[in-house]
Structure 1
Amino acid sequence: MQSQHDLNQKQYHDKSEAYLNSATHAQGVEFSKMQYVCRNYTQAQLLDLGCGGGHVSYQMASAVESIIAYDLSVEMLQLVEAQAQQRGLHNIRTQVGVAEQLPFADHSFDIVISRYSAHHWQSLKKALSEVHRVLKPKGAAIFFDVLGSCDPMLDTFLQCIEMIRDPSHVRDYSLSEWLEWVEYYGFEIDVVEKQSLALDFKAWVQRMKTPAMAVETIRELQEKVSDHVRDYYQIQSDGSFTSPTMYLQMSKA
């Protein structure tokens, strides 16, 4: 019986280099915001939750005392280990595991950062509870992810093309869902900002090695949607489009 975690591991097999070299994942104005938060802590211990290709870890290494790059994919973690060694980032170590069950003691980290990972998790609610548990009092949690929509038409389209491209996709949550759940699990919201992510269609599907038939299905959906959907996601003639993203910075009382 294949679980969601099994599916995630299967989907990200043999894709670590693509995520390392992805401009979408390696670049972003949010990194400077994260670094600013990190530098407010002395000798900070940081958890890079769902680290993927490790870009948060590489960007934050100079601003904190130590980092655990944590991911479900052993292949991704092997890449992060190799990259940390090549870059001389000796304060990064890796650990395998799932977001819903963190193998760390209560109050282990000053900062938890998760970027482009939460939409793959089996249970965002369980993961938020775990993040709150492992954070120290006054610790910071930062989430950055693609946003779903409260508009059913917009949301259905986004979730459909995401899952056709990558069957391990679970959900791009709306801002209202994020805010409701982080408050429920005891976080104080410090900063909420929306950004836009321009996605080159060819690079987007190649990164995940999406099969040709699935690519054709996505393109057909893009061509048949209403003008409301096309305009909102700024769908271009080559399939490239723009997604809203969220920078959410919180603290633990």
Structure 2
Amino acid sequence: MPEAPGSADHGAVVERQFGARAAAYLSSSVHAQGQEFVQLRTRVGEIDAPRVLDLGCGAGHVSFQLADLASEVVAYDLSPRMLAVVGEAAGERGFGNIRTVQGVAESLPFAADSFDVVCSRFSAHHWRDVGLALREARRVLKPGGLAAFIDVAASEQPLFDSFLQTVEMLRDTSHVRDYAPSEWAKMVGEAGLAVTASSRQRLRLDFETWIARMRTPDVMREAIRHLQSQVGQEVRDAFEIGEDGSFTTDMLVLWATKEHV
């Protein structure tokens, strides 16, 4: 069946949203910084010359953080234009062991048991089928290997969950879902990975920067601001919504492993 006028599959929407904004994500402080990087470097540093998969690498910040600890880092993403930015930046920073590969999270073009570490940061909320992607992550991870999943976390409370999903979709039409910690634990377990630890952090988002990075249309921007003004005080308190629209949300850092059979 032909697509309706103006329609596109999800992969095309993701590329449309992010390809033209790759440079903005490279310079984004939200993406380039984070206390979770200390945890990542500590854990990955305990593995001797690991081969690392940066799954949904975006502008490559995880790859850059781990390159000096790894024998090889494969920066993997749906967007060719994102990967071009990663490749150029890796060269400028002297990381000759970073290799870029294009593809979707649900179908990884790598052999089973081929990575010591699989990391994904701020990517899973764009995946069409998280369960399938997690099963693929498990397949390519070596037994005993380290998996790390880092993403914005939804609330377990339906009201707060609804608010977050709505503003995310209004800002970025490629958004699928932010998952709650309980959903993450269930999906990771069903994929055959064993959760070893998890923690939550608070992430402050400056509204104007958050909007500008995605070049959100004015009509969507105004819809977000109107929604923020209309929700109840409990929602405003939970997200610490400021007068300028800036707000705070949770992010989850989840660690897992592929157990030896």
Scaled by the length of structure 2, what TM-score is found?
0.96
Q: Aligned partners of 2:192, 2:131: CA distance in 1, in Å?
A: 12
Is 1:249 equivalent to 2:243 in the alignment?
no
Amino acid aligned to 1:131: A
Q: Aligned partners of 2:23, 2:16: CA distance in 1, in Å?
A: 15
Is 1:234 equivalent to 2:256 in the alignment?
no
Q: Aligned partners of 1:128, 1:160: CA distance in 2, in Å?
A: 25
Query: Displacement, 1:119?
Result: 0.2
**What CA deviation, in whole Å up to 9, does each residue of 1:19-71 have, x standing for no partner?**
00000000000001111111121120000000001000001011111000000
Query: Displacement, 1:187?
Result: 1.3
Equivalent of 1:91, from 97, 119, 136? 97
Query: Displacement, 1:13?
Result: 2.4
- Name the SS of the counterpart of 1:12 in structure 2: helix
Is 1:5 equivalent to 2:11 in the alignment?
yes
| Structure 2 counterparts to residues 37-116 of structure 1, below 5 A | 37-116=43-122
- Name the SS of the counterpart of 2:112 in structure 1: coil
- Which runs of at least 4 in structure 1 moved beyond 3 Å after TM superposition? none
| Residue-pair matches, total | 253
Amino acid aligned to 1:230: R
Q: Aligned partners of 1:202, 1:189: CA distance in 2, in Å?
A: 36
Equivalent of 2:148, from 130, 142, 149? 142
- Name the SS of the counterpart of 1:239 in structure 2: coil
Amino acid aligned to 1:246: L
Query: Displacement, 1:14?
Result: 1.1
2:181 matched residue in structure 1: 175
Q: Aligned partners of 1:100, 1:3: CA distance in 2, in Å?
A: 15
Query: Displacement, 1:185?
Result: 1.5
Scaled by the length of structure 1, what TM-score is found?
0.99
Query: Displacement, 1:6?
Result: 1.2
Q: Sequence identity of aligned pairs in percent?
A: 47
State the Cα RMSD in Å: 0.7
Query: Displacement, 1:225?
Result: 0.3
- Name the SS of the counterpart of 2:19 in structure 1: coil
Q: Aligned partners of 2:22, 2:210: CA distance in 1, in Å?
A: 14
Amino acid aligned to 1:10: R
Query: Displacement, 1:194?
Result: 0.4
**What CA deviation, in whole Å up to 9, does each residue of 1:67-89 have, x standing for no partner?**
00000000000000000000000
Is 1:220 equivalent to 2:248 in the alignment?
no
Equivalent of 2:32, from 26, 32, 42? 26
**What CA deviation, in whole Å up to 9, does each residue of 1:91-119 have, x standing for no partner?**
00100000000011100100000000000
Equivalent of 1:164, from 170, 173, 179? 170
Q: Aligned partners of 1:70, 1:132: CA distance in 2, in Å?
A: 15
